Structure 1
């Protein structure tokens, strides 16, 4: 039984490592989007989003948008958010646009701290 448990643990550990490698590879393939590009979900340019504060669902400021990245210089797909702590860590994470909503001039993140922790860190 112990050998089976150890083997199962190693397979799980290897799988987790492969998944993490995939997430970082995807992040590495993203590029900065040009400042003049419109970001369709929000109807503003990349330049307008640069350094915009990010809030959680409760209205607490948790960080700011450092960069808008995408598959090419004209296709935004994610924000690099520099988190200030507040339970979210003091780090930069790459988070898909689908996790954000713009309410007036305020950008709100729908993920909680646990959800953010699963997003890839910016290289």
Structure 2
């Protein structure tokens, strides 16, 4: 009985570190080493907008048509915002796609809207982001 208890105790102790490690999720990385930035971070922003404010912003083309929505804010290994993952296309979430849009293709309009000089066909040519 004591031997069985010792074996069970040792087995439990050996599995503890693995359980703790498995609970620490690695950041989602793809698309050339970009990482998904945590929307709780307040130490980084883009044009005065926090990560949380950028997420879920609608993206418009220069003609004023909505062409997508920011799903994730992406950054480099140092945590600087360098791009966003934009979801576009599809209907009611079916057939949509997420792509990486570099910050240099975006601007904040005077009305606070997120604007790009691209159209949906241009978005379709960008690198995909797998959430």
Counterpart of 1:117?
124
Bigger Cα Rg: 2
CA RMSD of aligned residues (A): 2.3
Q: Secondary structure at the match of 1:82?
A: strand
What is the TM-score of this pair, normalised by structure 1?
0.67
1:78 paired with 2:83, answer: yes
Against the structure 1 CA distance between its residues 27 and 46, is the aligned structure 2 distance closer, same or farther, given a 3 Å change threshold?
Answer: same
C-alpha distance in structure 2 between counterparts of 1:44 and 1:38, whole Å: 9
C-alpha distance in structure 2 between counterparts of 1:75 and 1:46, whole Å: 11
Give the deviation of 1:26 after TM superposition: 6.2
What is the TM-score of this pair, normalised by structure 2?
0.63
TM alignment of 1:89-104, pairs within 5 A: 90-103=96-109, 104=111
Counterpart of 1:106?
113
1:30 paired with 2:37, answer: no
C-alpha distance in structure 1 between counterparts of 2:90 and 2:60, whole Å: 12
Query: Contact 2:44/2:80 (CA < 8 Å) preserved in 1?
Result: no
Q: Secondary structure at the match of 2:31?
A: helix
Listed as ranges, the gaps of 5+ residues in structure 2 are 1-28
Q: Secondary structure at the match of 1:72?
A: coil
Q: Secondary structure at the match of 1:98?
A: helix
